[in-house]
């Protein structure tokens, strides 16, 4: 069948819901939280309208239970999905470890929202990044199209390596903003994403009785962790291959774990994740016209972390401005720490500066990128940093 | 093992064993007996969800599984939610759940995992109407972490965080009536059971199997380690709990209460009978015993009233 995309104007959240539908997810267990709610509302609507078959919807009483129910479903062989945001994700934390430890290829959408207090419903990456060490893969979407594509790819990748995956989109900027999304006809999604073949299935009564998640003594626990670590390493290749296949079939290539934009001859680049990179790309075009030799590096997959691609990028530029819409208290922006750490034992030593931007939904504009560019240019010319971490928007 | 015909005829319980030797429960553990009976009732086509509790250990460390059924070990507070997910997956995959030939989805959780930290997930599970059975095995404290009080610990009991001593600091609250909380959800079937009355327990498990929707069974399961009782007295203690009406056996089905006491005509024995073999109650004063007795009387009268009015 020839690929003819179906164009729909949808919000990021609806894009996620359509991807869930097209992926033929079998169980959705979820709990509402702004700004995630419209994802699960849309899915409920699909069921109510008879637009999906064999989709069980479990309206649980909390996010902790949402993840627990999703885990139960996935362990029983079903393709399972949930979605949440901020406080909900934090409440799930314990169960995120359970999902990865039990090697369940669950896919979840997290709508990036700032953690309270003070209450904020707006964009901020600290909620998802605080889940860094739970063993989940993390994909950051720049726009609604990437939310849709991300969910479909995440299922395929997760089910190949038996590791759960989080697709992250930003509050309101994507979740509630409408844009054209090219959707894939169902038959082609089915080809790309065939029925799940579970690693194990609690409903399998032909084999010897078995248990999952039992106590492991010090003689065995270590190897379980190693296997999960290996799976993340293997996932990198799978991600690149699936991303390439996606590009070949549907015209949007995701084979790079770090998407580079006009970086070939760049003196310095802006690096970041998620929706703010759309703004950055636009700024790069303008700055190029103004004579700045700049590029953008969008980290698509934060876990597993694409060290190799970062190295390739870093050894060819003089500076990297890391834009973090998040913060690790007592340290610095989280992507900044990761990127610096990944390069430490290499010969790539660009000047790296951390800009904390847009926390709690504070606007981040093309003009802001320009100011950062001016600052970066100055410090590169001088050959030394003014400060390592700058709270860019601070009202003084 | 093949069971000789003449013995089989005398058996009042299913002969099949699906609870394997080599489990790691303490001697005289009521919970392990409970698991054995559940497996006798439901057999191989069972999916267990077991949260953090003594049964995590009883079922065996990786790679072993002493239960002859598939088992998912889950987090302490999630039993109800995991059951919901398992059931949803079976339904989405078109696999028959419950009934004679369906898959039995069974939650098996301690009193702590049910009455305390797991209460929210239990409530959600009951209220959403999943086709699964939730069994709370009640050993009246957190045993896995070394005998701390739970909401189901009775008045006057010693535990490691309600120790007895000069200041006489023991558990000061009466046992939480989890079964009443469950019934308030208006589910089709709820019951109490005891390891001292396995036929009654298995009958209740079978009723739960036949009844669509969520079922709940609260199983009295002595713990010699935590109760400071002789390991050969577990069944006797469990029987005395029923005979003293400390833990009466009853069923709630479709809005109706039915008491299932072994000797319905007999007046309950005094509570001292239940307390006598258990070191955990040794700090109780005469007044404490009186307070517990009054609670037992009151609750027993209340149950009889319920059975009378809604029988
Ligand atoms: C979130 C969380 N908190 C605490 C624990 C520690 N913990 C494990 S088992 C347990 C007590 C279990 O008691 P109960 O449910 O009564 O079962 P029992 O051990 O008596 O069989 C506790 C507190 C845990 N596993 N998870
Ligand atoms: S501590 Fe009690 S409940 Fe736990 S295994 Fe031992 S006897 Fe059974």
Give the residue among B148, B152, B143 at the shortest CA–CA distance from B111: B152
- Three-class DSSP category at A364: coil
Interchain CB contact of A183 with B (< 8 Å):
no
Please indicate if any CB of chain B lies within 8 Å of the CB of A100. Answer: no
pTM (two decimals)? 0.97
CB spacing of B81 vs A72 below 8 angstroms? yes
With helix as H, strand as E and coil as C, how does A374-393 read?
HHHHHHHHHCCCCCCEEECC
* CA-closest candidate to residue A331, choices A139, A130, A115, A171: A130
**CB distance A76–B86 less than 8 Å?**
yes
Closest CA to B108 of B165, B38, B169, B175: B38
d(CA A193, CA B34) in angstroms, rounded, equals: 44
Please work out whether the CB of residue B226 comes within 6 Å of at least one atom of ligand 2.
yes
Answer yes or no: is pLDDT of A134 > 80.
yes
pLDDT tens digits along A6-65:
999 999 999 999 999 999 999 999 999 999 999 999 999 999 999 999 999 999 999 999
Q: In what order do the strands lie in the sheet with A258-261?
A: A258-261, A294-299, A268-272, A319-324, A351-356, A389-391
Cross-chain Cβ contact B88/A69 below 8 Å: yes
Ligand 1 proximal residues by C-beta, below 6 Å: B 31, 52-54, 76, 110-113, 139, 142-145, 150
pLDDT tens, residue by residue, A93-111: 999 999 999 999 999 999 9
Kindly state whether A199 is in contact with chain B, defined as any CB-CB distance less than 8 angstroms. Answer: no
- A54 at B interface, C-beta within 8 A: yes
Q: Do A68 and B90 touch (CB under 8 A)?
A: no
Residue that the structure tokens 């045993």 belong to: B143
Q: How far is the CA of B109 from the centre of ligand 2 (A)?
A: 13
* Gap between the Cα atoms of B48 and A200, Å rounded: 15
* Mean pLDDT within A373-393: 97
* Cis before A117? omega within 30: yes
Assigned token pair, A183: 């959707």
* Helix or strand (DSSP H, E) at B49: strand B46-50
Nearest by CB to B124, which of A27, A61, A203? A61
Give me the percent of chain A exceeding a pLDDT of 70: 100
CB contact B140 to A (< 8 Å): no
Rounded CA-CA distance A76/A81 in Å is: 13
Identify the pLDDT of residue A118. Answer: 98
- Cα distances from B171 to residues B154, B174, B223, B297, in angstroms, run 7, 8, 17, 19
Q: In what order do the strands lie in the sheet with A107-112?
A: A56-59, A27-30, A80-84, A107-112, A165-170, A137-140, A301-303
| Tens-place pLDDT, residues A259-311 | 999 999 999 999 999 999 999 999 999 999 999 999 999 999 999 999 999 99
- How far apart are the CA of B115 and the centre of ligand 1, in A? 11
Helices A221-250, A86-101: inter-axial angle, 10-degree rounding: 110
Q: What is the ipTM of this complex?
A: 0.96
Output the pLDDT for position B171: 84
Query: What single DSSP character describes residue B200?
Result: H
pLDDT tens readout for residues B90-116: 999 999 999 989 999 999 999 999 999
pLDDT tens sequence across A65-82: 999 999 999 999 999 999
Query: In sequence order, which ranges of chain B are alpha helices (DSSP H)?
Result: 5-10, 30-42, 54-58, 79-92, 111, 119-128, 178-183, 198-210, 224-227, 234-243, 271-275, 286-309
**Which pLDDT score is estimated for A1?**
78
- Nearest-CA residue for ligand 2 atom 5 is B25
The answer to whether residues A324 and A140 touch, using CB atoms and an 8 Å cutoff, is no
Cβ of B29 closer than 6 Å to ligand 2, yes or no, is yes
> Is the separation of the CB atoms in B47 and A203 below 8 Å?
yes
Q: Is the CB of B228 under 6 A from ligand 2?
A: no
Pocket lining: B31 vs ligand 2, CB cutoff 6 Å:
yes
B61 CA to chain A: closest CA distance, Å? Answer: 5
pLDDT value of residue B168: 65
Query: Could you say which residues of chain B have pLDDT below 70?
Result: 1, 166-168
User: What share of chain B has pLDDT > 70, as a percent?
Assistant: 99
Instruction: Look at residue A393 in the predicted model and tell me its pLDDT.
Output: 84
Considering only residues 125 to 144 of chain A, which have any Cβ-Cβ distance to chain B shorter than 8 Å? none
Q: What is the DSSP string of A213-243?
A: S----TTTHHHHHHHHHHHHHHHHHHHHHHH
Is the CB of A212 less than 8 angstroms away from the CB of B72? yes
Closest to A27 (Cα-Cα) out of B90, B185, B149, B282: B90
pLDDT tens digit sequence for A176-213: 999 999 999 999 999 999 999 999 999 999 999 999 99
Select from B225, B235, B279 the residue to mutate for testing ligand 2; criterion: most ligand atoms less than 8 Å from CB: B225
Q: pLDDT at position B1, please?
A: 61
Task: Tell me the three state secondary structure of residue B17.
Answer: coil
What are B238-291's pLDDT values in tens digits? 999 999 999 999 999 999 999 999 998 999 999 999 999 999 999 999 999 999
pLDDT of residue B170: 82
Q: What is the pLDDT of residue B172?
A: 87
């Amino acid at each position: 069948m020839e690929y003819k995309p179906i164009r729909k104007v949808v919000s990021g959240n609806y894009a996620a819901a359509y991807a869930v539908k097209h992926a033929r997810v079998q169980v959705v267990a979820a709990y509402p939280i702004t700004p995630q709610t419209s994802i699960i509302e849309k899915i409920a609507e699909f069921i109510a309208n008879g637009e999906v078959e064999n989709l069980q919807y479990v309206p649980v009483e909390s996010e902790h239970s949402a993840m627990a129910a999703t885990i139960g479903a996935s362990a029983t062989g079903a393709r399972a999905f949930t979605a949440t945001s901020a406080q909900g994700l934090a409440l799930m934390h314990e169960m995120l470890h359970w999902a990865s430890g039990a090697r369940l290829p669950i896919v979840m959408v997290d709508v990036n929202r700032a953690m309270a207090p003070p209450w904020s419903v707006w964009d901020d990456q600290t909620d998802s990044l605080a889940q860094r060490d739970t063993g989940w893969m993390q994909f950051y979407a720049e726009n609604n199209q990437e939310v849709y594509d991300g969910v479909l790819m995440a299922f395929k990748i997760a089910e190949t390596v038996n590791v759960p995956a989080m697709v992250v989109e930003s509050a309101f900027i994507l979740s509630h903003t409408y844009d054209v999304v090219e959707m894939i006809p169902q038959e082609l999604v089915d080809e790309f994403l065939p029925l799940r073949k579970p690693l194990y299935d609690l409903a399998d009564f032909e084999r010897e009785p078995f248990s999952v998640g039992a106590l492991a003594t010090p003689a065995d626990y270590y190897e379980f962790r190693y296997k999960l670590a290996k799976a993340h390493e293997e996932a990198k290749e799978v991600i690149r291959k699936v991303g390439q296949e996606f590009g070949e079939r549907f015209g949007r290539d995701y084979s790079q774990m770090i998407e580079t934009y006009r970086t070939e001859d760049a003196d310095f680049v802006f690096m970041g994740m998620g929706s703010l990179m759309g703004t950055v790309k636009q700024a790069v075009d303008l700055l190029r016209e103004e004579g700045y030799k700049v590029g953008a590096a969008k980290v698509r997959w934060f876990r597993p972390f694409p060290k190799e691609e970062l190295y390739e990028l870093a050894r060819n530029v003089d500076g990297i401005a890391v834009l973090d819409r998040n913060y690790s208290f007592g340290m610095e922006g989280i992507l900044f720490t990761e990127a610096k750490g990944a390069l430490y034992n290499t010969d790539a030593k660009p000047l790296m500066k951390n800009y904390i931007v847009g926390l709690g939904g504070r606007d981040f504009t093309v003009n802001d990128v320009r100011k950062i560019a001016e600052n970066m240019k100055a410090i590169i010319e001088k050959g030394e940093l003014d400060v390592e971490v700058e709270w860019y928007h601070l009202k003084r | 093992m093949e069971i000789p015909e003449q013995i089989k005829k005398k058996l009042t319980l299913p002969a099949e064993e699906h609870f394997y030797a080599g489990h790691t429960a303490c001697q005289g553990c009521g919970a392990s007996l409970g698991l054995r009976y559940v497996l006798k009732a439901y057999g191989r086509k069972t999916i267990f969800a077991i949260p953090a509790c003594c049964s995590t250990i009883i079922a065996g460390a990786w790679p072993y599984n002493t239960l002859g059924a598939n088992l998912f070990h889950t987090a302490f507070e999630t039993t109800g939610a995991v059951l919901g997910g398992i059931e949803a997956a079976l339904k989405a995959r078109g696999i028959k759940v419950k009934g004679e030939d369906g898959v039995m989805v069974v939650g098996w959780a301690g009193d702590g995992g049910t009455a305390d930290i797991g209460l929210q997930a239990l409530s959600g599970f009951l209220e959403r109407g999943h086709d699964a059975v939730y069994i709370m095995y009640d050993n009246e404290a957190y045993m896995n972490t070394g005998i701390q009080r739970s909401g189901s610990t009775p008045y006057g009991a010693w535990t490691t965080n309600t120790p007895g001593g000069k200041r006489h600091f023991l558990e000061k609250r009466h046992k939480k009536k989890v079964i009443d909380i469950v019934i308030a959800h208006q589910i089709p079937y709820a019951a109490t059971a005891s390891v001292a009355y396995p036929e009654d327990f298995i009958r209740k498990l079978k009723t739960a199997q036949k009844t669509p929707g969520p079922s709940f069974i609260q199983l009295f399961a002595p713990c010699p380690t935590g109760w400071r009782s002789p390991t050969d007295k577990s069944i006797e203690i469990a029987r005395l709990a029923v005979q003293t009406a400390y833990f009466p056996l009853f069923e709630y089905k479709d809005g109706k209460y039915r008491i299932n006491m072994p000797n319905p005509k007999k007046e309950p024995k005094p509570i001292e009978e239940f307390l006598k073999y258990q070191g955990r109650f040794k700090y109780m004063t005469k007044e404490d015993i009186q307070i517990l007795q009054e609670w037992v009387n009151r609750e027993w009268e209340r149950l009889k009233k319920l059975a009378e009015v809604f029988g």
